[in-house]
Amino acid sequence: MTDARRQGGGSRLEALLARPLLLPPSAFLTFSLRRLARAHPEAFARLGEYGQRLYLIAPTDLPLAFCLRPAGADGEIRLVVAKDAPQAAVRVRGPLLDLLQLFDGTLDADAAFFSRRIQVEGDTSAVVALHNALEAADLTLADLVGAPKPTRDFVNRGLAWTTQRWRSA
């Protein structure tokens, strides 16, 4: 067997082994998304038909990608091995920190796009709809991780401190 063939087989084996490890964080993220949908139904309603689309959020600095279907109470987020990611209506790529800051509004989406910090492929109207829904909901990273209301300020400060340190590192 050639080295190239062995590497390909090893990569497939690694991907198969990684899948069960991705189930718990996928379940947690899906739970958080559905909790957000219950807390902010108006934001998900703004998505309209775009809520059923599959968005692939692909951090360029991780071997993983997030498959997001923001369908309100039926929405889901699945973590997948990036190279095995499914086809999606939209693919958003960029460093994880930038993607997180886009989510909570601390990074200007237009500036990130035009400076090429993030790349968007596919249905741009779906991306605009998702951006507008996120902006209208005024969500934070604490919302993303499903932090209980009494702890959100503390969690947001901790996450802001962490992302600031990460950015400067």
Measured CA distances, 163 to 53, 96, 157, 168 (Å)? 29, 10, 10, 9
Q: Is residue 152 part of a domain?
A: no
Judge whether 146 lies within some domain.
no
pTM given for the model: 0.81
Rounded-to-integer distance, Cα 54 and Cα 33, Å: 14
- Domain membership of residue 158 (yes or no) is no
Answer whether residue 162 is part of any domain.
no
Residue-wise pLDDT for 60-95, tens only, equals: 999 999 999 999 999 999 999 998 899 999 999 999
- Evaluate whether residue 75 is within a structural domain: yes
Confirm whether 166 is domain-assigned.
no
Tell me how far apart the alpha carbons of residues 76 and 29 are, in angstroms, rounded to a whole number.
8
3-state SS, residue 78? strand
Cα 152 to Cα 4, 45, 48, 78, 124: the distances in Å are: 49, 24, 28, 24, 32
**CATH number, domain containing residue 115:** 3.30.1050.10
pLDDT tens digits, one per residue of 9-60: 456 666 666 778 899 999 999 998 898 888 889 888 999 999 999 999 999 9
Q: Tally the domains of the chain.
A: 1
Residue 6 lies inside a defined structural domain of this protein: no
1 within domain boundaries: no
Count of beta carbons in the 10 Å neighbourhood of residue 14: 11
- Partners of 66 in the β-ladder: 57, 79
Domain residue limits at 74: 23-139
Cβ 89 vs Cβ 122: under 8 Å? yes
